Structure 1
Amino acid sequence: MNVTLEIIGWVLVVALFAVGMAGAVYPILPGALAIYAAFFVYGLFLGFGEFGVVFWTLQTLIVAILFIADYAVGAWGVKKYGGSKASVYGSTIGIIIGPFVIPGFGLLLGPLLGAVIGELIAGSDFKQSVKVGFGAVVGLFTSTVVKIILQLVMIILFIIWII
């Protein structure tokens, strides 16, 4: 195999892993999908021989769990603190637009303010709405930890599979 192609392949794989891990913290980046894409890049540049049905099944299962857990854990934080569906939707919208509207602090303030606004719209008082907003931040942190752990598992499985 051409050494230059191998180097390009590895650079792309590492870059996709970095984007994926950054995506665990910054939700605008593709996260788990970037890591998943790295496996295909590896296969295209270095060969798919090491991968089999078990590898792809495990990795696909982890990605599915990540998507479900990402939403569910965030919603859990809001619900645990007494939030309504409106605050779950508000915190989700806040996670997406917060970093753009409030650069630097939007990742934290977005879900907090989104949940507070959603809960106020649902008819809760200000004190309860702030409590639910705090729950949204707790859910965000918990979700981030879960994503980091599962994405590291994806990368570790990949390394185990190719060595």
Structure 2
Amino acid sequence: MDIVLFILGLVCMLIGVLGSFLPVLPGISVSWLGIVLLYFTTAVPANYWILSSTFLVLVLFSIANYILPSKGTEQFGGSKAGIWGTNIGLVVGLLAPIPLGFIIGPFLGALIGELVFDAKNVQHALRAATGSVLGILASNFIQFMLSIIYFGIFISIVWEYKTLLFS
């Protein structure tokens, strides 16, 4: 049973790394599930410090994942309408069956929101929409790095208990 849990955990790690830049797959949450599965084995004793600290990072990043695109819009001079457009566009882009919808949706949402707010200033609207895309890219980069860190934690745990796990 330990080998099955190890393999499931490893699959979760790989899906988590892929999911960190593919919006269809959940990234860091699946990586965390891989760590949890490893602790369900009889060979690896439970370490609640690692589980709780990685879970806390997961929760904090999950919240930040939805805030970063809006903050990018705001940093590039976007108004409240642009920020709302970014958030609405993010949801629509994630649900729409179009390629790169998670990037196109917030960009168009911020652009439309800014143009509704001030239709004369297209340059300003484009700048705010670019900020939303940069926020999304920053969020994806952070998620990728966290998934890699979780994968490293997984590998280090396996390395430490390899003789018990594979015997």
TM bin, normalised by shorter chain, reads: 0.7 to 0.9
> SS state of the match for residue 25, structure 1?
coil
Which of 105, 112, 122 does residue 110 from structure 1 map onto? 105
CA RMSD of aligned residues (A): 2.3
- Structure 2 CA distance for aligned equivalents of residues 67 and 25 of structure 1: 14
Structure 1 position 48, deviation (Å): 7.4
Structure 1 position 100, deviation (Å): 4.7
- Structure 1 CA distance for aligned equivalents of residues 115 and 126 of structure 2: 9
- Over 3 Å counting, the alpha-carbon distance change for 1:118 and 1:23 in structure 2 is farther
Counting aligned pairs with the same residue, the percent is: 25
1:133 aligned to 2:129? yes
Tell me which residue corresponds to 2:82: 87
Amino acid at match of 1:73: L
Amino acid at match of 1:51: A
Contact 2:35–2:150 (CA under 8 A) maintained in structure 1 = no
Tell me which residue corresponds to 1:158: 154
> SS state of the match for residue 23, structure 2?
coil
Structure 1 position 66, deviation (Å): 1.3
Tell me which residue corresponds to 2:35: 39
Amino acid at match of 1:138: L
Contact 2:2–2:42 (CA under 8 A) maintained in structure 1 = no
Which of 129, 139, 143 does residue 143 from structure 1 map onto? 139
Which of 3, 6, 10 does residue 6 from structure 2 map onto? 10
- Structure 1 CA distance for aligned equivalents of residues 129 and 92 of structure 2: 16
Amino acid at match of 1:105: L
> Which of 150-159 and 95-104 deviates more?
95-104
Structure 1 position 16, deviation (Å): 1.4
In structure 1, the gaps of 5 or more residues are none
Contact 1:26–1:107 (CA under 8 A) maintained in structure 2 = no
> SS state of the match for residue 20, structure 2?
helix
Contact 1:66–1:150 (CA under 8 A) maintained in structure 2 = no
**TM-score, length of structure 2 as denominator length:** 0.79
Aligned length: 158
Q: Deviations over 1:63-105 (max 9, x none)?
A: 1231233233322211111112332232233233325536223
> Which of 97-106 and 110-119 deviates more?
97-106
Structure 1 position 123, deviation (Å): 3.4
Structure 1 position 55, deviation (Å): 0.8
**TM-score, length of structure 1 as denominator length:** 0.81
